[in-house]
Amino acid sequence: MRVTWVTDDHKAPSTVEYGMSPGQYNAVARGENTSYTFFFYSSGKIHHVKIGPLKPGTTYYYRCGGCGPEFSFKTPPSTFPIEFVVVGDLGQTEWTKSTLAHVESKDYDVFLLPGDLSYADFQQPLWDSFGRLVEPTASRRPWMVTEGNHEVEMIPIIYPHGFKAYNARWLMPYEESGSESNLYYSFDAAGGSIHIIMLGSYTEFDSDSAQYKWLKQDLAKIDRKMTPWVIVLLHAPWYNTNTAHQGEGESMRKAMEELLYGARVDIVFAGHVHAYERFTRIYNNKADSCGPVYVTIGDGGNREGLAMSYKNPRSPLSMFREASFGHGRLRVLNHTHAHWSWHRNNETDSVIADEVWLDSLSASSTCMGQQPSSLRDEL
């Protein structure tokens, strides 16, 4: 586990003390730190400390920097079942608070966020307020995120590469997964039974790009006998019947869809569109029982509001769509079955508005038995 926190005190040590009983820390880890400036803003000291090895399914108590409050988190299990919460386009509004309250009302193991975190949009103090807002949730369970368009914060000549705040604050395990960029990476869950790939919609993705080459290599390493589930997250959806952001993921889809289809990816989660939509299994704009299920879940609570308008008549590929704030839960029960549910934020309760049982493609002899001829050489 990597623990990240920010201190105003630039002399504060980058240390984490931890143990399995409150107030009793029998281990200590030292890590690294960074900081950044953005025009007249100077960040606090941003600490990143890796702790472990840790036991699965275990609560650990920890303290950062040798003083301050005690936090606790629970490590994910190393076996099935395991439950993921999926929330995109979170922001920091009253809607956001409602979403996080609904998330916390029921236990889960890992939080997945397909881009658009703070909506700071160049106003750097909003990165700090976002950290304070999510701390009660993000200090208790692993948060695995990828970037959205609101993380870019690029200014030609001055900050030409963008992502200055995001990369400094939200360090993901890209080096551990062989990636050259914090904007795309992968990791395993449930003892290697689930492989999760976080792609970058806002960095190069064509067939000559570093991301494409990394993705190809990452997919080639997966043994579906050992890893029956493969899940992908990205920000701009490849399939979308909402009138908002139409076609914005199309160039990435054309570049990478064949790779995901050939690897028999089970599910692709996206954000960006501020609504919820679930598609059937698709490949190349057609229903395909060996393609991924596509889900748009950009309804976490951002300040821009909901995307209320949909294209009509509805595409037969779209199984369910609704413009409401909420969150999703993917409970993977075993090697073959998972349950997906979308929970609408009603006033006091989190209501299941959509749900579906999913079969892993690794269990399909039809899908695993043959791949399209164009992919055999590639993979």
Structure confidence at residue 346 as a pLDDT band (50, 70, 90):
confident
pLDDT at 228 over 70: yes
pLDDT at 373 over 50: no
pLDDT at 175 over 70: yes
Query: CATH 2.60.40.380 region(s) of the chain?
Result: 2-71
pLDDT at 305 over 50: yes
Strand partners, 269: 233, 295
Question: Residue 222: its pLDDT value, please?
Answer: 98
CATH pick for 2-71 out of 2.60.40.380, 3.20.10.10, 3.40.50.2000, 3.30.70.100: 2.60.40.380
- Give the DSSP letter of residue 370: -
Q: For the chain, what percent of residues have pLDDT higher than 90?
A: 95
pLDDT at 376 over 80: no
pLDDT at 347 over 70: no
Render pLDDT for 186-219 as a digit per residue (tens, 0 to 9).
Answer: 999 999 999 999 999 999 999 999 999 999 999 9
CA distance 234 to 222: 19
pLDDT at 377 over 50: no
Question: Residue 351: its pLDDT value, please?
Answer: 77
Mean pLDDT value across residues 64-70: 95
Question: If we measure between CA atoms, which residue out of 46, 3, 5 comes closest to residue 28?
Answer: 3
Provide the H-helix boundaries in the chain. 94-104, 125-138, 164-169, 210-220, 250-262, 365-369, 373-376
Question: Residue 378: its pLDDT value, please?
Answer: 47
- Beta carbons within 8 Å of 265's beta carbon, 6+ residues apart: 197, 230, 231, 232, 292, 361
Question: Residue 372: its pLDDT value, please?
Answer: 52
Ramachandran angles phi, psi of 259, nearest 5°: -65, -45
Q: Which segments within 190-348 are labelled E, that is strand?
A: 194-198, 229-233, 267-270, 276-283, 286-287, 293-297, 318-322, 326-332, 337-345
Structure confidence at residue 369 as a pLDDT band (50, 70, 90):
confident
Query: CATH 3.60.21.10 region(s) of the chain?
Result: 78-369
Q: Any idea which fold 78-369 has?
A: Purple Acid Phosphatase; chain A, domain 2 (3.60.21)
Between residues 262 and 347, the one the model is more confident about: 262
Mean pLDDT value across residues 128-150: 98
Structure confidence at residue 371 as a pLDDT band (50, 70, 90):
low
CA distance 24 to 18: 7
CA distance 1 to 99: 25
Question: Residue 281: its pLDDT value, please?
Answer: 98
Among the residue ranges 81-85, 94-98, 348-352, the one predicted with the least confidence is: 348-352
Given the residues 245, 274, 327, 343, the one annotated as active site: 245
Would residue 335 show up in a list of annotated catalytic residues for this protein? no
CA distance 29 to 54: 12
